[in-house]
A = this chain, B = another copy of it.
Amino acid sequence: MPGLITFLSDFGRQDTYVGVIKGVIAQINPQLRVIDLVHEIPAQNLAQGSFHLGTAYPHFPVGTVHLAVVDPGVGSDRRGIAIQTETGFLVGPDNGLFSSVLDQLPDQGMANIRAVELTQTRYWYTPSPSSSFHGRDIFAPVAAHLASGVALADLGSEIAPQSLVRLPIPSYHTTPTGVIGTIQSSDRFGNLITNIPAHCLLGQSWQIKIGLWQLPLLKTYSDGPVGAMIGLIGSHGWLEIAVNGGNAEQVLGQHPGNPVEVISLCP
């Protein structure tokens, strides 16, 4: 069975960076398969990179290698790392990009994972990597070798999971009357994805406060009339704000980073 690599970056599609990385992988093992996750992460935006990798991670086969390159510190002394979890591998810079994946693992990824700093140049594209494109010169070839069966321990020196850089991702918290959270991301349709998980919103009637708006919590987009602002449990498993047939981000003027409050109607 050929190995599977997913690939997420902020390289965009207007240059050949993504294609070149696939060429490097094909040179190492032409049988490997690469699935693009997303390459339109805003340039150098680690929070959005981490968010998207975290949402995609659970939907791939066990053993998949996840290559992720959003790397504002390329060429500095930030570490390059590979991580083995119970369900897959992560390869990229040690700058917090893997926070959302690690957060969803047992014990928040502090146990049952192994991590190495990438120091074994024999698995690199070149022993003298470019100072500005470690995606091509280090991370892609390491991912290709991992997907081809090279053991994690061969890639470099083991490091403690506790030492991995983690992003200060905002978390939700409960209040006497409900939950306060944050918009994590918006999608192409303008849906606003919060960080309030579905299990916080069971068994009662809820009202959603966002900006100046108060919205009901419904089952799906079409439960409201066209144009209605609503909340629903989205496909990621979090509270999502939407406009039926419209663009909530534009209509509500709300964006990632803004707060969202959910209030129980039957306290």
Contacts and interface: CB of A to CB of B under 8 A. Distances in A.
A11 B11 CA distance: 19
B219 A20 contact: no
Given A17-B187, A43-B189, A189-B43, A27 B131 contact: no
Contacts of A259: none
Contact of A30 (B1, B19, B235): B1
A80 interface: no
A16 B131 CA distance: 29
Contacts of A251: none
Contacts of A26: 4, 33, 35, 60-61, 64
Interface residues of A, number: 66
A245 interface: yes
Nearest to A12: B188
Nearest to A222: B76
Interface in A1-22: 1-2, 4, 6, 8, 10-20, 22
Contacts of A76: 220, 222
A159 to B, nearest CB: 21
A22 B35 contact: yes
Given A136-B235, A232-B132, A52 B219 contact: no
A36 B19 contact: yes
A92 interface: no
B133 A187 contact: no
A157 to B, nearest CB: 23
A72 B131 contact: no
Contact of A220 (B17, B74, B220): B74
Nearest to A13: B40
A20 B15 CA distance: 22
A23 B6 contact: yes
3 nearest interchain CB pairs?
A: A75-B220, A133-B235, A12-B188
